[in-house]
Amino acid sequence: MALLVSFFLLWGIILSGVRPSSVATLSSPSTVPLKTLHQLLEEADQAAAAAAPQAGPALPLPPSLDPWYRAPTTYDWTQTEPGQVLKIRQAPFLNWTVGNALRAYQLLYRSTDSQYNPAWDVTTLFIPRWQARCSPQTPHLCAHAVLSYQLPYDTCNVDASPSYGLHLGEPYGEIADALALGWFVAVPDYEGPLASYAAGVQAGHATIDGVRAVLQVGGLFGLRMDVTKVALWGYSGGALASEWAAELAVQYAPKMKFAGIALGGLTPNVTGVTDFLNGKEGAGLIPAGLLGIATQHPDAYRWIVSRLRPALRDRFLSVRKMTARQAIRTFMYNDIYSYFVGGYKDLHTRVMQMMYNIDGFMGYHGVPRMPVFIYNAVHDELSDIKEVDELVDRFCGVGANILYHRNLAGTHHQEIVNGRQRAFAWLRSVLDGSYDQLYSSMGCTIQNVTYNLAPYVGWW
C-alpha cells in the first residue's frame, strides 16, 4: 500500500463519461489466428474513426458502468490460455492526455486471480510516434522493446483504474518519456475487475498476462517480434505488482523471458506497512488495502465486515467508492484499529493471516530470473527499509542478479524523482542490449547512494 502525491492530485476526481470507445470481441475460445486479430483491429480502428471527437477529448464511461469491462458471454472464455486477448478497442482520447503516443488500444485478456481461478484484466497499449516510420521497407525503424509500466493507483475503487484514469492525464510523464525512446508501453489494470488493491498474486498474474496479451498483437503494429525485449517497471504500488510478477513468473510463465525489472519504493510486508501508516497522514490506505486484498479472500472479507464497530461500519466501507486521495483525506490520522471490535487483534486472526500469507508477503513465491534494479529511500516512511534489505538478502542468497541502491537522501515521495533517471538508464541498458557492458550481470551489488534531486513533498 503506497501513496504518491502528484498522482492522487491528478486522479483525485473521477468524472462521468459521455462517449464509450469502439469495441471488438473474439468469437471463439480456441487459439485465435493472426488474421482474426487483424480483422478485429481493423474493425476497432474503423469504429474509432467513425466516432472521432469533433470538439476535443472526452471521458468514456467509467469501468463500473462501461459494458466493455465485462467478460465475453458468447463463449466459455475461461477455457482460453492466460494472456489470450478477448476484446480489443481503440482508445483515441488517450492520444490527447499522454504525450508521444501514435495510437492507444485497450486489450481485455484472460488472466488468473489469487485463488488460481480464471479471471480477466485490462491493459492499455501505447504505440510510440516513432512507429509511424515503420514499414516492410524500413524494418530497422520498427520498435523492438516493450515496457510494462505498472502505475500505482492504490485504491479498491475500480473506477480509478489506469485504463480510465489516464484520460485525466499522465501523473509523472514517464509513459511519454518511454514512448519517446521508441518503446511500446503497456499499462495494466493489475488490480483486476474487483480492484484487489494490495493482492500480490492477483497483481503479479495480471502483469504477466498483460505482457502476453501485448505480445500476441504486437506484430500487427510492427513490433519486431524476432528481437523484441520486455522489461517491467513500477514504483510503490506499481512496484508491488512488478515484484510479484518477477516472483511468480518462475512457475506461472516459465517460458517467458524478461530482459529486466526496475522496482522503486518497495513494500515487502503488507502488515508492516499497516503498522507504519496507522494513525498517520496515510492511514486511509489501510482500509483501502484491507478491503482490496480481501476481495480475493471471501472468508477474510466477511470477517473484516463482521468485526467493524456498528457505528463506524458505513464510514469504513465507504472507501470502496473513493479514490486514494479521497481515502487519505477521509481517514487522515485515524487509528484504523479502533474501527474494529477487537482492535489490532481482529486483523491478525487465523483467517487474516492466511490471506496475508498468500497475497501479502514478498519473497516466498519464487526467485526473479531476470536482472533486477531496486531503488529505495532509506528513510522511506511507508515501509521499513530493513524489510527491503531482507528481501534483497533472501534473493541474493539463492543466486539472483540485483543492483540495489539505498538512497540516503529523501523520502518515499521524493525517491520517485530521485530515482527516475537511474531507473531509465538501467531500463535502457536491458532493452538495448548494453546491460552486460554497463552493470554486473552476476550476483548482487548493494550500494548506499545519495541522490537528492527532488524538493520536499509531504502527503499533499
Domain ranges for the chain: 5-264, 281-359, 372-449
E strand map for 18-84: 24-25
Nearest alpha carbon to residue 187 among 377, 7, 328: 7
Tens of pLDDT, residue by residue over 196-253, are: 999 999 999 999 999 999 999 999 999 999 999 999 999 999 999 999 999 999 999 9
Does the annotation count 405 as an active-site position? Answer: no
pLDDT at 18: 28
Nearest alpha carbon to residue 287 among 267, 305, 311, 268: 305
Tens of pLDDT, residue by residue over 386-403, are: 999 999 999 999 999 999
pTM across the whole model: 0.91
Burial class, 179, CB count within 10 angstroms (exposed 0-12 / middle 13-18 / buried 19+): buried
Residue 448 cell numbers, joined: 548506499
The CATH superfamily holding the domain 5-264 is: Alpha/Beta hydrolase fold, catalytic domain (3.40.50.1820)
- DSSP characters over 380-409: -SSS-HHHHHHHHHHHHTTT--EEEEEESS
Tens of pLDDT, residue by residue over 270-329, are: 999 999 999 999 999 999 999 999 999 999 999 999 999 999 999 999 999 999 989 999
pLDDT at 112: 98
Mean pLDDT over 365-372 rounds to 97
Does the annotation count 413 as an active-site position? Answer: no
CA 399 to CA 259: how far, in whole Å? 17
Query: Does residue 406 register a pLDDT over 50?
Result: yes
pLDDT at 327: 96
CATH class of 281-359: mainly alpha
Question: Among residues 205, 365, 412, 413, which one is catalytic?
Answer: 412
CA 361 to CA 64: how far, in whole Å? 30
Contact of 196 with 296, CB cutoff 8 Å: yes
Residue 21: pLDDT band with limits 50, 70, 90: very low
What is residue 269's DSSP assignment? B
334 or 24, higher pLDDT? 334
Largest Cα–Cα distance of the chain, in whole Å?
Answer: 69
Mean pLDDT, the chain, integer: 90
CA 253 to CA 341: how far, in whole Å? 42
Does the annotation count 346 as an active-site position? Answer: no
Percent of the chain with pLDDT over 70: 88
Residue 349: pLDDT band with limits 50, 70, 90: very high
Mean pLDDT over 57-68 rounds to 87
Q: How many residues are present in the chain?
A: 460
Question: Among residues 380, 383, 405, 429, which one is catalytic?
Answer: 380
Question: Among residues 21, 114, 161, 236, which one is catalytic?
Answer: 236
Helices of type H across 237-349: 237-252, 270-277, 285-294, 298-306, 313-317, 324-331
Residue with cell 479521497: 326
